[in-house]
Structure 1
Amino acid sequence: MQDTAAAAPSAILDYVTSCTLPTPWAQFTLHAFVEHGTGKEHLAMTLGDLAGAPPLARIHSECLTGDVMFSQRCDCGAQLEGALKRIADEGRGILLYLRQEGRGIGLVNKIRAYRLQEAGADTVEANLQLGFHADARNYELVLPMLQRFGVEAVRLMTNNPRKIAALEKLGIRVAERVPLLVNRNAFNNGYLDTKQAKLGHMMTPLAEPALDGEL
């Protein structure tokens, strides 16, 4: 099991314990944290030695319908699997699993939002109609969780510029953005298009560097 040196106590959450977690791609170490204000349990999955060069990282918000129930209405489950596969392929990295379902509005309200979407609203409009922000997630927990492992900079797997800005505001350097474009399908086209049009998500692959002599 990976050695996790003791870190200073956090004002917003406590580290509790760790165990090994075998997956189809690698044997990770699973770490449990409890948030003071809400009692929510958040997780980190680590692989390899995180010291040195910025590790591959994913900040993943809980999506029960996508992560567990294989919903095709979003790309969340595919992003979770894709991130773990990439970390396993690289042999080192960290995934933080934050319990902020439905962009922070909770599971039942997410299902209410789904009903509004079925009546014609897009994902942003549905959240606003329910009285919530378009994206109510908060990433302040990321800092003490990464500090637990001595991680100060990451190569972040994300398409979301707000997530990059949130980490950098916390003092976590994003050394590289790694796109995570997966599972576009007939059921989530509108969802992904809304992410791009209204939330600024970067939904196109990075351009390949030009070879010498190419324009």
Structure 2
Amino acid sequence: MNTQIKFEKSSIANMPSKYGKFKIRAYKEGDQEHLAIFTENFEQQESPLVRIHSECLTGDTFGSIKCDCNNQLHKALELIAQEGGLIIYHRQEGRNIGLLNKINAYSLQDQGRNTIEANIELGFAPDQRTYDVVGEIFKDFNLTKIRLLTNNPAKVHVVEGLNVTITERVPVIINPNPHNEGYLKVKKEQMGHDL
């Protein structure tokens, strides 16, 4: 973890939702602001359910079906409301290339490139996310053991690198649709996601 980064955090507030009662705290990392959304009881659990959800404005907010982000987020909210746990809403849009470049990548995908090819053509790595804030949030909540809600092997490696034990990896399986089949195929075959 980069010790040069200064983090700020908000107070904790209540966030009732259609899934249940949550608490929420914001974390500021440079000019990026991230969220921790959690159930009241999760800190009492020996190995709480945790999802690191990467921001996707088009999917999460507008319901785009070019990806599986919206379905994964809402499935995670349901599971965590039932079992107790934490969602880190990791605000690094488009695998951290930003919204403008993500839409440019979408345009290239409309022309036949896949998600990795589009990022590379725009001059970016296939995935530019950083996870310093995740380590900060884990430290803030004294997390040492978790059940990780993910399909992404890179996030498993990130968590292991933070000296947090993953007692179980819980997949988030979402049925494909005609608009995201290619995207999910790339995630599975080229990025190693468990789908």
- Fold-level match, TM-score > 0.5? yes
CA distance in 1, matches of 2:11, 2:45: 24
Match of 2:90 in 1: 98
Matched residues in 2 for 1:146 and 1:32: separation? 13
Q: Give me the whole-angstrom Cα distance separating, in 1, the residues matched to 2:6 and 2:172.
A: 29
Secondary structure of residue in 1 paired with 2:129: coil
- 1:33 equivalent to 2:27? Answer yes
Cα-to-partner distance string for 1:37-72 (whole Å, 9 max, x where unaligned): x22111000103213411001001110000000000
Secondary structure of 2:11's partner?
A: strand
Which of 51, 62, 68 aligns to 1:75? It is 68
Q: In structure 1, give the amino acid aligned to 2:50.
A: A
What does residue 15 of structure 1 align with? Answer: 9
Q: Is the 8 A contact 2:149 2:170 kept in 1?
A: yes
RMSD of aligned Cα (Å): 1.5
In structure 1, distance between residues paired with 2:145 and 2:6:
21
Residue type of the partner of 1:182? Answer: I
Runs of 4+ in 1 over 6 A off after TM superposition: none
CA distance in 1 between counterparts of 2:101 and 2:77 reads 28
Percent of matched pairs sharing the same residue: 43
The one-letter amino acid paired with 1:105 is I
- Structure 2 unaligned segments of length 5 or more: list them: none
Matched, 1:119 2:119: no
Tell me what 2:160 maps to. 168
Q: CA deviation at 1:173?
A: 1.4
Could you tell me how far apart the structure 2 residues matched to 1:60 and 1:52 are? 21
What amino acid is the match of 2:46?
A
Task: Pick the structure with more helix per residue.
Answer: 2
Q: State the alpha-carbon separation in 2 of the partners of residues 39 and 108 from structure 1.
A: 16
Q: Name stretches of at least 5 consecutive residues in structure 1 with no aligned partner.
A: 1-9, 204-215
1:110 aligns with 2:63: no
Amino acid at match of 1:154: I
Residue 180 of structure 2 corresponds to residue 188 of structure 1: yes
Normalising by structure 2, we get a TM-score of 0.94
Q: Is residue 86 of structure 1 aligned with residue 75 of structure 2?
A: no
The alpha-carbon deviation at position 183 of structure 1 amounts to 4.1
Q: Which has the larger radius of gyration?
A: 1
- 1:151 to partner: Cα distance: 1.2
Residue in 1 that maps onto 2:18: 24
